[in-house]
Amino acid sequence: MPELSVIIEWMNQYPKTGWILLLIYILLGVVRHRVINAESGSVFRGLLNLRKRRLERMLEQPYLNKNAISLVRRELRQRSLYQLTGLYNYRLQDLAIIFCDRYGLRAGYLKPWRNWLNEQEGQIVFKRKWHCFRWRIFLLVLFVNVILLVAFIMYIFSHASAEMIAPLIMFYVLLWLFPWLMVASVPTPAWTREMEAYLKKFNAEQRMADSNNHCHIELQ
Protein backbone atom coordinates (compact mmCIF):
# COMPACT_ATOMS: atom_id res chain seq x y z
CA MET A 1 0.00 0.00 0.00
CA PRO A 2 1.26 3.55 -0.71
CA GLU A 3 2.40 5.75 2.15
CA LEU A 4 -0.10 8.25 3.51
CA SER A 5 2.32 11.08 2.71
CA VAL A 6 2.13 10.15 -0.99
CA ILE A 7 -1.67 10.35 -0.84
CA ILE A 8 -1.50 13.78 0.86
CA GLU A 9 0.96 15.04 -1.75
CA TRP A 10 -1.36 13.81 -4.51
CA MET A 11 -4.27 15.61 -2.81
CA ASN A 12 -2.31 18.87 -2.87
CA GLN A 13 -1.56 18.49 -6.57
CA TYR A 14 -4.92 17.09 -7.69
CA PRO A 15 -7.65 17.94 -5.16
CA LYS A 16 -10.44 16.12 -6.99
CA THR A 17 -8.79 12.74 -7.44
CA GLY A 18 -6.89 13.07 -4.18
CA TRP A 19 -10.06 12.44 -2.21
CA ILE A 20 -10.74 9.34 -4.33
CA LEU A 21 -7.26 8.03 -3.55
CA LEU A 22 -7.74 8.80 0.14
CA LEU A 23 -11.01 6.87 0.17
CA ILE A 24 -9.40 3.90 -1.58
CA TYR A 25 -6.52 4.07 0.92
CA ILE A 26 -8.94 3.93 3.85
CA LEU A 27 -10.89 1.03 2.31
CA LEU A 28 -7.66 -0.87 1.68
CA GLY A 29 -6.64 -0.33 5.29
CA VAL A 30 -9.93 -1.76 6.52
CA VAL A 31 -9.70 -4.76 4.18
CA ARG A 32 -6.07 -5.38 5.13
CA HIS A 33 -6.96 -5.27 8.81
CA ARG A 34 -9.78 -7.77 8.30
CA VAL A 35 -7.58 -10.12 6.28
CA ILE A 36 -4.80 -10.07 8.86
CA ASN A 37 -7.01 -10.46 11.91
CA ALA A 38 -9.61 -12.83 10.50
CA GLU A 39 -9.77 -15.64 7.99
CA SER A 40 -11.63 -15.25 4.74
CA GLY A 41 -15.25 -16.33 4.56
CA SER A 42 -16.16 -15.09 8.05
CA VAL A 43 -19.84 -14.76 7.11
CA PHE A 44 -20.06 -18.41 6.10
CA ARG A 45 -18.02 -19.40 9.13
CA GLY A 46 -20.54 -17.54 11.31
CA LEU A 47 -23.34 -19.59 9.79
CA LEU A 48 -21.41 -22.78 10.44
CA ASN A 49 -20.83 -21.73 14.06
CA LEU A 50 -24.55 -21.11 14.45
CA ARG A 51 -25.21 -24.64 13.26
CA LYS A 52 -22.52 -25.90 15.63
CA ARG A 53 -24.12 -24.17 18.62
CA ARG A 54 -27.46 -25.76 17.75
CA LEU A 55 -25.83 -29.17 17.66
CA GLU A 56 -24.14 -28.54 21.01
CA ARG A 57 -27.51 -27.65 22.54
CA MET A 58 -28.92 -30.93 21.19
CA LEU A 59 -26.49 -32.82 23.44
CA GLU A 60 -28.32 -31.40 26.46
CA GLN A 61 -31.76 -32.55 25.31
CA PRO A 62 -32.81 -35.48 27.51
CA TYR A 63 -35.25 -37.03 25.04
CA LEU A 64 -32.59 -37.97 22.45
CA ASN A 65 -31.50 -41.60 22.48
CA LYS A 66 -27.90 -42.83 22.40
CA ASN A 67 -27.87 -43.24 18.61
CA ALA A 68 -28.95 -39.64 18.04
CA ILE A 69 -26.37 -38.38 20.53
CA SER A 70 -23.71 -40.40 18.74
CA LEU A 71 -24.66 -38.82 15.41
CA VAL A 72 -24.57 -35.32 16.92
CA ARG A 73 -21.11 -35.94 18.39
CA ARG A 74 -19.90 -37.28 15.04
CA GLU A 75 -21.22 -34.19 13.26
CA LEU A 76 -19.56 -31.88 15.79
CA ARG A 77 -16.29 -33.76 15.41
CA GLN A 78 -16.46 -33.41 11.63
CA ARG A 79 -17.08 -29.68 11.90
CA SER A 80 -14.25 -29.20 14.37
CA LEU A 81 -11.83 -31.11 12.16
CA TYR A 82 -13.00 -29.03 9.20
CA GLN A 83 -11.92 -25.87 11.04
CA LEU A 84 -8.59 -27.53 11.79
CA THR A 85 -7.75 -29.10 8.43
CA GLY A 86 -9.91 -27.20 5.93
CA LEU A 87 -11.22 -30.56 4.65
CA TYR A 88 -14.89 -31.48 5.00
CA ASN A 89 -14.60 -35.07 3.81
CA TYR A 90 -14.63 -36.99 7.08
CA ARG A 91 -12.57 -39.82 5.56
CA LEU A 92 -9.83 -37.37 4.63
CA GLN A 93 -9.83 -35.48 7.92
CA ASP A 94 -8.27 -38.25 10.03
CA LEU A 95 -5.74 -39.06 7.32
CA ALA A 96 -4.85 -35.37 6.96
CA ILE A 97 -4.16 -35.13 10.70
CA ILE A 98 -1.84 -38.15 10.55
CA PHE A 99 -0.23 -36.79 7.38
CA CYS A 100 0.47 -33.31 8.77
CA ASP A 101 1.62 -34.57 12.16
CA ARG A 102 3.97 -37.13 10.61
CA TYR A 103 5.81 -34.60 8.43
CA GLY A 104 5.58 -31.56 10.70
CA LEU A 105 3.24 -29.61 8.42
CA ARG A 106 0.60 -27.10 9.43
CA ALA A 107 -2.88 -28.52 9.97
CA GLY A 108 -4.37 -26.83 6.88
CA TYR A 109 -1.56 -27.82 4.51
CA LEU A 110 -3.82 -29.86 2.22
CA LYS A 111 -6.61 -27.28 2.09
CA PRO A 112 -5.57 -25.65 -1.25
CA TRP A 113 -5.94 -29.04 -2.99
CA ARG A 114 -9.11 -30.19 -1.22
CA ASN A 115 -11.18 -30.15 -4.43
CA TRP A 116 -8.89 -32.78 -5.95
CA LEU A 117 -8.29 -35.04 -2.95
CA ASN A 118 -10.08 -38.27 -2.08
CA GLU A 119 -9.68 -41.19 0.29
CA GLN A 120 -9.20 -44.67 -1.07
CA GLU A 121 -8.31 -47.74 1.02
CA GLY A 122 -6.68 -45.69 3.77
CA GLN A 123 -4.66 -43.55 1.37
CA ILE A 124 -4.95 -39.97 0.13
CA VAL A 125 -5.54 -39.91 -3.63
CA PHE A 126 -4.79 -36.77 -5.61
CA LYS A 127 -6.67 -36.18 -8.88
CA ARG A 128 -3.75 -34.67 -10.74
CA LYS A 129 -5.49 -34.56 -14.13
CA TRP A 130 -8.32 -32.35 -12.84
CA HIS A 131 -5.87 -30.08 -11.05
CA CYS A 132 -3.90 -29.61 -14.27
CA PHE A 133 -7.12 -28.83 -16.11
CA ARG A 134 -8.07 -26.18 -13.54
CA TRP A 135 -4.56 -24.74 -13.65
CA ARG A 136 -4.75 -24.29 -17.41
CA ILE A 137 -8.18 -22.66 -17.11
CA PHE A 138 -6.80 -20.34 -14.43
CA LEU A 139 -3.85 -19.34 -16.64
CA LEU A 140 -6.18 -18.74 -19.59
CA VAL A 141 -8.51 -16.49 -17.57
CA LEU A 142 -5.50 -14.72 -16.04
CA PHE A 143 -4.14 -14.05 -19.55
CA VAL A 144 -7.53 -12.62 -20.57
CA ASN A 145 -7.57 -10.41 -17.47
CA VAL A 146 -4.09 -9.09 -18.21
CA ILE A 147 -5.16 -8.26 -21.78
CA LEU A 148 -8.25 -6.49 -20.44
CA LEU A 149 -6.09 -4.55 -17.98
CA VAL A 150 -3.72 -3.44 -20.77
CA ALA A 151 -6.68 -2.48 -22.97
CA PHE A 152 -8.23 -0.58 -20.06
CA ILE A 153 -5.00 1.31 -19.42
CA MET A 154 -4.66 2.21 -23.10
CA TYR A 155 -8.26 3.39 -23.16
CA ILE A 156 -8.00 5.64 -20.10
CA PHE A 157 -4.69 7.08 -21.32
CA SER A 158 -6.44 8.25 -24.46
CA HIS A 159 -9.77 9.33 -22.95
CA ALA A 160 -9.20 10.28 -19.30
CA SER A 161 -7.41 13.27 -17.86
CA ALA A 162 -3.94 12.83 -16.38
CA GLU A 163 -5.14 13.13 -12.80
CA MET A 164 -7.76 10.37 -13.27
CA ILE A 165 -5.44 7.72 -14.74
CA ALA A 166 -3.96 6.41 -11.48
CA PRO A 167 -7.30 6.23 -9.58
CA LEU A 168 -9.00 4.40 -12.45
CA ILE A 169 -6.19 1.84 -12.67
CA MET A 170 -6.32 1.29 -8.92
CA PHE A 171 -10.10 0.98 -9.13
CA TYR A 172 -9.87 -1.79 -11.75
CA VAL A 173 -7.08 -3.71 -10.02
CA LEU A 174 -8.48 -3.51 -6.49
CA LEU A 175 -12.14 -4.12 -7.27
CA TRP A 176 -11.75 -6.81 -9.92
CA LEU A 177 -8.28 -8.30 -10.48
CA PHE A 178 -7.17 -8.84 -6.87
CA PRO A 179 -10.55 -10.22 -5.65
CA TRP A 180 -10.63 -12.61 -8.60
CA LEU A 181 -7.10 -13.82 -7.82
CA MET A 182 -8.02 -14.41 -4.17
CA VAL A 183 -11.11 -16.45 -5.08
CA ALA A 184 -9.99 -18.36 -8.18
CA SER A 185 -6.28 -18.97 -7.56
CA VAL A 186 -4.99 -22.53 -8.02
CA PRO A 187 -1.86 -24.00 -6.36
CA THR A 188 1.12 -23.73 -8.68
CA PRO A 189 2.66 -26.86 -10.26
CA ALA A 190 5.86 -26.46 -8.22
CA TRP A 191 3.94 -26.28 -4.95
CA THR A 192 1.77 -29.19 -6.09
CA ARG A 193 4.82 -31.34 -6.88
CA GLU A 194 6.04 -30.79 -3.33
CA MET A 195 2.66 -31.90 -1.98
CA GLU A 196 2.64 -34.94 -4.27
CA ALA A 197 6.07 -35.96 -3.01
CA TYR A 198 4.73 -35.92 0.54
CA LEU A 199 1.65 -37.88 -0.54
CA LYS A 200 3.72 -40.50 -2.35
CA LYS A 201 5.81 -41.09 0.75
CA PHE A 202 2.76 -41.10 3.00
CA ASN A 203 0.80 -43.57 0.87
CA ALA A 204 3.80 -45.91 0.64
CA GLU A 205 4.08 -45.92 4.42
CA GLN A 206 0.34 -46.51 4.72
CA ARG A 207 0.53 -49.51 2.36
CA MET A 208 3.48 -50.92 4.29
CA ALA A 209 1.64 -50.48 7.60
CA ASP A 210 -1.47 -52.18 6.20
CA SER A 211 0.65 -55.04 4.84
CA ASN A 212 2.36 -55.55 8.19
CA ASN A 213 -0.99 -55.54 10.00
CA HIS A 214 -2.37 -58.07 7.54
CA CYS A 215 0.63 -60.37 8.01
CA HIS A 216 0.36 -60.04 11.78
CA ILE A 217 -3.31 -61.02 11.66
CA GLU A 218 -2.54 -64.08 9.50
CA LEU A 219 0.18 -65.20 11.91
CA GLN A 220 -2.24 -65.01 14.79
pLDDT of 36 reads: 45
- What are the domain boundaries of the chain? 110-220
The pLDDT confidence band at residue 148, using thresholds 50, 70 and 90, is confident
> What does the pLDDT average to over 28-45?
51
Give me the mean pLDDT over the 33-45 stretch.
48
**pLDDT (0 to 100) of residue 60:** 78
The pLDDT tens digits of the residues spanning 9-27 come to 655 665 555 556 656 666 6
Task: Indicate the pLDDT class of residue 214, thresholds 50, 70 and 90.
Answer: low
Q: For the chain, what percent of residues have pLDDT higher than 90? A: 32
More confident residue, 113 or 169: 113
Mean pLDDT of 81-106: 92
Q: What's the pLDDT at 58?
A: 80
Q: Quick: pLDDT tens for 53-67.
A: 787 788 777 888 888
Supply the pLDDT for residue 160: 66
- Decide if pLDDT at 155 tops 60: yes
Least confident of 37-41, 134-138, 150-154, 184-188: 37-41
State percent of the chain over pLDDT 70.
70
pLDDT (tens digit per residue) in 156-179? 777 766 666 677 777 777 777 777
Q: What is the three-state SS of the chain?
A: CCCHHHHHHHHHHCHHHHHHHHHHHHHHHHHHHHHHHCCCCHHHHHHHHHHHHHHHHHCCCCCCCHHHHHHHHHHHHHHHHHHHHCCCCHHHHHHHHHHHHHHCCCCCCCHHHHHHEEEECCEEEECHHHHHHHHHHHHHHHHHHHHHHHHHHHHHHHHCCHHHHHHHHHHHHHHHHHHHHHHHCCCCHHHHHHHHHHHHHHHHHHHHHHHHHHHHHHHC
Output the average pLDDT for the chain: 78
